[in-house]
Amino acid sequence: MPIVYIFNPDTGLNERYERNTWDPMPYVQGRTMTVGEFRGSSISNILWTDRRIIDSWNAFRAGWGRPIFIGYAFKRIWEGGHTGQSQHYSGTALDLGHTLTDQGRAELRQYAIDSGLWSYIEPASLTPRWVHVDRRFGSPACGTGGYPALGVGSRGVYVFTLQDALMALGIMGSGLDGYFGFGTQRAVANYQLQQGLPATGGVDCNTWLRLTAQARGVGITPTVLI
Ligand SMILES: [Zn+2]
Domain at 157-215, CATH class: mainly alpha
pLDDT at position 168 is 96
pLDDT at position 175 is 84
Q: How far is the CA of 64 from the centre of ligand 1 (A)?
A: 20
pLDDT at position 226 is 75
pLDDT at position 44 is 96
Q: In what order do the strands lie in the sheet with 13-18?
A: 13-18, 3-8, 46-50
Q: How far is the CA of 105 from the centre of ligand 1 (A)?
A: 14
Q: How far is the CA of 89 from the centre of ligand 1 (A)?
A: 10
Single pTM value for the model? 0.96
pLDDT at position 83 is 80
Amino acid identity at 14: N
Q: How far is the CA of 209 from the centre of ligand 1 (A)?
A: 19
CA 17 to chain centre: 17
CA 28 to chain centre: 17
Q: How far is the CA of 66 from the centre of ligand 1 (A)?
A: 21
Q: How far is the CA of 133 from the centre of ligand 1 (A)?
A: 7
Q: How far is the CA of 121 from the centre of ligand 1 (A)?
A: 9
Amino acid identity at 39: R
Query: Mean pLDDT, 10 residues at a time, over the chain (226 residues)?
Result: 97 98 97 97 96 98 97 96 89 97 98 98 96 97 92 98 97 92 97 98 98 96 86
Q: How far is the CA of 73 from the centre of ligand 1 (A)?
A: 7
pLDDT at position 55 is 98
Q: How far is the CA of 6 from the centre of ligand 1 (A)?
A: 20
pLDDT at position 84 is 85
Domain ranges of the chain: 3-74+93-134, 157-215
Residues in the chain: 226
Q: How far is the CA of 155 from the centre of ligand 1 (A)?
A: 23
Q: How far is the CA of 84 from the centre of ligand 1 (A)?
A: 12
Q: Please list, in sequence order, all residues whose beta carbon lies within 8 angstroms of the beta carbon of residue 125, skipping any fewer than 6 positions away.
A: none
Q: How far is the CA of 86 from the centre of ligand 1 (A)?
A: 8
